[in-house]
Structure 1
Amino acid sequence: MKKQGLKRFISKFKDQQHDYIEKSSIEEISQKKKNIEPSLEKTVETFKAIYSIPDNKDVKIRNFHIGGLNRKASILYINTITDTKIIEQHVLKPLLLNNDSSKEIEDIVSAQSVTNVSIIKDVLTDINKGNAALFVDGDNKAYIISASNFQGRGIDKSENEVVLKGPKEAFNELVITNISLIRKKIKNENLMVESATISKRSKNELFIVYIKDLVNEKMLSNIKKRVHSLHVDSIQNLSLLEEHIEERPRSIFPTILYTERPDRAASFIEDGYVVLLMDNSPGSLVMPATFWSFFHISEDHYLRFIYSNFIRCLRMLAMFITLFISSIYISITDYHPEMIPPDLLLAISATREIVPFPVIIEVLLMEIAFELIREAGLRVPSPIGPTIGIVGALIIGQAAVQANIVSPIVVIVVALGGLCSFAIGDISMNFTIRLIRFLFIFSAALFGFYGMAAMFSIGLFYMVSIKSFGVPYLAPMTPNYLSSKDTVFRRLSKNEIFRPGYLKPKDVEKKVGK
């Protein structure tokens, strides 16, 4: 009964959303269930169509002639996850140099493992695992050669996206390795890796990664259009590319997500997102990106349901503290002293009695000092960076209080706000929150809580107006879309049965829990 109600809801939603019309794949599915034909030319054309060759740049096919047997052959493999030395030394070389017409293919190939497969679907499974498929004219089967070579790090961890529970691998500066790390997690023939040259002089190559039977074609064409419309001499990495392709490069809010974790990039791809990879970039760009994408971290789904939601609650609380604590202190002290108990008001007044500056100057001095200490701790060599941060904060705070430049409570307020800002994991959103904090400080100094309320309303209006490659910034909260409702809190993994509706994927249902 419950499943029938869910099906009716899905069909009703698809009727309302005309962009959700799912493309039929019955013909492709039936083709994969067929046996391999003896005609080598037809077999090669079939696999070229399945893997979208030559658009899919890391899928390679080599045609050659087998010596001695006088037969044509082709070998198909994925370059980024296959050991090409094994193919060259143990497959191609023996077949090309063979002079004995009585030998079978298994006797000529010197690879460790050679198996026969006759169904196209089984061949695709082996190729996606990193093995190579050898097709010989006249044979209605494929010879699968074990040659997988997935690239992966040893114990290297992500520096900016630290997790306690979950994979430790991170992207590096070699794009072939990065594609291999994604291929290791998504063994699917529909995973597309297209390339594009994005600079006129340096000829920098960009790789566009997506799943072709999930991604929305309109969104994909929009991304490709922006990539191909670039007219610059050189773009060396993704950080420079981000500013060239985003819709609002002057916006304070980021609209493209940068991640250096292959597991996180793979999860976005499986939901219908598009990921960009480049050489010289130890990370990837995920498009489109909503506000909630920056708020979440990769560890949210590795922890148990209760634990991850508790951490999200703390993270949301930390975000509001770092945004409002300094401005609330200014508003209460200057405009609304009646809101705090008399004893606390007398204590604050006593500490500020000998301070010669107004509250706004006190707060700005400490906020700027905290930002300088943070920046200095990041730029100096790592062995002494943490030491500078701790010692600098203690010395400057204590000296400022003893010199009667700031009051002790201002040091506490600014330190708490700065500490909470570290809970925002994404570096772009972290800068956004830190800058917006200064806007609230100035609005509180001018009009108190009324200024803060006005600034908050303006900020909400602005966020609602932002779009990332056609996707509303606050989706799926507003506007409301069919999705797993993974916004402030996440649901149980088995209940997350929908992909993000705002992406308009070809298949909105994950088929989980059925």
Structure 2
Amino acid sequence: MDIKKRIKNLLFFHEPRVERPFILTEDSEAGKYDPGTDKGRAGPESKKNEDLLLKKVKKIKLTKKKESPADEEKSDISKQLSENLNVIEERFSVPLNGDLIIRKFDITVKDSVIPAFLVFFDGLVNTKVINDDILQPLMLLSNLDFKSDRDDVLTYIRSHILPHNQLKEARTHQEVIDMVFFGGCGIYIDSLDVAFVADVKDFPGRSVERPNNELVIRGPQEGFTECLRGNTALIRKRLMDQNLISEDITVGRRSKTPCSILYIRDIANSSLVAEVRRRLKSIETDHIMDAGELEQFIEDNPSLPAPQIIATERPDRVCAMLTEGRVAIIMHGSPFALVVPITNSDIIYSAEDQYLRFPYSNLLRVIRVLAVLMSLLLPGIFLAITNYHHEMIPTDLMLAILSDREKVPFPSVVEVFLMEISFELIREAGIRIPGPIGPTLGIIGALILGQAAVEANIVSPILIIIVAVTGLGSFAIPNFSAGFAFRILRFGFIILAALSGFLGITVGLVLMGLWMVNAKSFGVPFVSPVAPRTTGGFSDAVFKSPVWKQEKRPDFMNTKKKRKQAHISRGWVNRGASAQQSDSGNKNE
């Protein structure tokens, strides 16, 4: 029974069990509600639902009252500096942590000195900034009078002594600890029950470079790095919109990995943003180190081979998707940004499509669709024709194939599996071998193994061509995860074709179609705008329209603003026509 359930879960999509279901309403359904249509339906059931709704609203209001600022956690920072020092040393396991720096110093005042200390991690901070902007002003340039009011002292330190641009007050030790781990410097001063935290981070990392996986000929040549703020800066550099929001959130109980949720406030659907925020906050795990792990925690259907979240390393592609109403997630320590929701057409698009003229990009899209079909079906079609449907190919070609297979001792299906597995081994070895040797080894290894296999009568020459073309088709798919999905499904189609020829391939295509039609990506149907059919979204869904005709955003996103450019965006065309008309009118006069 357990095996049957697993097979059923793999073949059929099940909505994830959530306490609060999320539905992104389509534009085609928006505005169709008529209050008068429900008056006749009012009854005991609707009354019961209204009572439940009122109870939920009251519960929400009570929860908001409990979370009011009046009931916030009180400060656990003592006015005694020695107590604070003991707490910090205990929390940071001093002296076991060799890279933790606790710098004690005295602040000059009018009549005496006030003890204080700094806490930070060596290697995560800019020590020059600490020396010039924190220690020097407090030790040499301050003129504090601690007899004045506490709030006045805090204001004076923040406004006159410490010139650092990012200085915050922390009321708990945990706030200080969290900031210190993220490149901050904690400042404790005797007689104050509040600590200061200065952002002086200087993480070791690489500079902005060309993307490794999404290379383009035309277009920007910058890719994301592992620095969160550097990645958000790359997006803001290209999208200078005051409505671009970057919300900070932390995932992982122990790793406390910072993440940013980016969206355009007056475009993105509020329900979509709330759902992304809810899924991230509901993650309960000790650590998340990369966007690949985060993607698996928040995707809708883990059993679907096709990716339901786009992972991209290009800031320009993220900006283009944000303007369509999508939401991006950037994670500290990962050079990839996650964008949701997506459709099946997004996984075969390249970032270069936006920068090429529409005839060129449409030609490339046709080639990619053919590459997907070859990568998915070509070995299965070969098996179906050679084993079941001999009449579909010319007799001479059939005789040539049979003559090549006379000395091969294996059945066709074993032959295909043997070559497919060998090709996957060569591909994996080429990736894992370091340096420039990897690609060279892959090409030479494929040539040598293929030639040796043919001469040893292990496989037929035609199958070498089939497997090579299939591999080229998988390499032509722009999305790395989608390429994996098609490689997995290809083995399923090989088995179905070996069992029942084209009938098996047809059954596999139907099951895959049902699978994809039932799938959703953050409330958006995976095969939108085809199923369900919507009124818009076709300007860039299958074939690309001219850029000046892409007037509206995809309506399956249900964005707040539907139009992204004017109906006649090339104003110079109309101005030129009107100028010609005026010139002709002047000549007639």
Aligned partners of 2:27 and 2:346: how far apart in 1? 25
Matched, 1:492 2:546: yes
Matched, 1:356 2:409: yes
Match of 1:159 in 2: 212
Q: Is the 8 A contact 2:273 2:327 kept in 1?
A: yes
What amino acid is aligned across from residue 223 of structure 1 in structure 2? V
Q: Is the 8 A contact 1:154 1:169 kept in 2?
A: no
CA shift for structure 1 position 408: 0.6
Q: Is the 8 A contact 2:497 2:505 kept in 1?
A: yes
Aligned partners of 1:385 and 1:438: how far apart in 2? 25
Match of 2:303 in 1: 250
Q: Is the 8 A contact 2:348 2:478 kept in 1?
A: yes
Match of 2:293 among 227, 240, 251: 240
Match of 1:431 in 2: 484
How many residues align structurally? 380
TM-score normalised over the length of structure 1:
0.71
- Structure 2 residue matching 1:276: 3-state secondary structure: strand
Match of 1:17 in 2: 30
Matched, 1:324 2:337: no
Match of 1:202 in 2: 255
Structure 1 residues 417, 450: closer, same or farther in 2, change over 3 A? same
Aligned partners of 2:306 and 2:327: how far apart in 1? 20
Structure 1 residues 14, 395: closer, same or farther in 2, change over 3 A? closer
Match of 1:281 in 2: 334
Structure 1 residues 269, 15: closer, same or farther in 2, change over 3 A? closer
CA shift for structure 1 position 369: 0.3
Structure 1 residues 366, 19: closer, same or farther in 2, change over 3 A? farther
Unmatched tracts of structure 2, length 5 or more: 1-25, 34-128, 143-205, 569-589
Aligned partners of 1:378 and 1:498: how far apart in 2? 41
Match of 2:444 among 391, 402, 408: 391
Deviations 1:263-312 (A, max 9, x none): 00011111110000111101100011111111111100101111111111
- Superposed CA RMSD in Å reads 2.4
Map 1:62-77 to 2 at 5 A: none
CA shift for structure 1 position 155: 7.6
Match of 1:369 among 422, 425, 438: 422
- Structure 2 residue matching 1:157: 3-state secondary structure: coil
Match of 1:73 in 2: none
CA shift for structure 1 position 488: 2.1
Map 1:41-80 to 2 at 5 A: none
- Structure 1 residue matching 2:539: 3-state secondary structure: coil
Structure 1 residues 461, 276: closer, same or farther in 2, change over 3 A? same
Moved over 4 A (4+): 13-16
What amino acid is aligned across from residue 18 of structure 1 in structure 2? G
Q: Is the 8 A contact 2:325 2:559 kept in 1?
A: yes
Aligned partners of 1:234 and 1:271: how far apart in 2? 32
Match of 1:446 among 474, 496, 499: 499
What amino acid is aligned across from residue 495 of structure 2 in structure 1? F
Q: Is the 8 A contact 1:287 1:469 kept in 2?
A: yes
Which structure has the larger Rg? 2
Match of 2:221 in 1: 168
Aligned partners of 1:418 and 1:411: how far apart in 2? 11
Aligned partners of 1:214 and 1:19: how far apart in 2? 21
Match of 1:182 among 228, 235, 249: 235
Aligned partners of 2:526 and 2:358: how far apart in 1? 25
Deviations 1:458-497 (A, max 9, x none): 1001100000010000101221222243122110001001
Aligned partners of 1:18 and 1:399: how far apart in 2? 67
Deviations 1:161-193 (A, max 9, x none): 010110000000001110000000111111101
Unmatched tracts of structure 1, length 5 or more: 1-12, 21-84, 98-152
TM-score normalised over the length of structure 2:
0.62
Q: Is the 8 A contact 2:208 2:224 kept in 1?
A: no
Structure 1 residues 220, 212: closer, same or farther in 2, change over 3 A? same
Aligned partners of 1:171 and 1:222: how far apart in 2? 25
Q: Is the 8 A contact 2:372 2:473 kept in 1?
A: yes
Q: Is the 8 A contact 2:553 2:564 kept in 1?
A: yes
Aligned partners of 2:252 and 2:224: how far apart in 1? 23
Aligned partners of 1:242 and 1:484: how far apart in 2? 27
Q: Is the 8 A contact 2:208 2:225 kept in 1?
A: no
Q: Is the 8 A contact 1:484 1:499 kept in 2?
A: no
Q: Is the 8 A contact 1:271 1:499 kept in 2?
A: yes
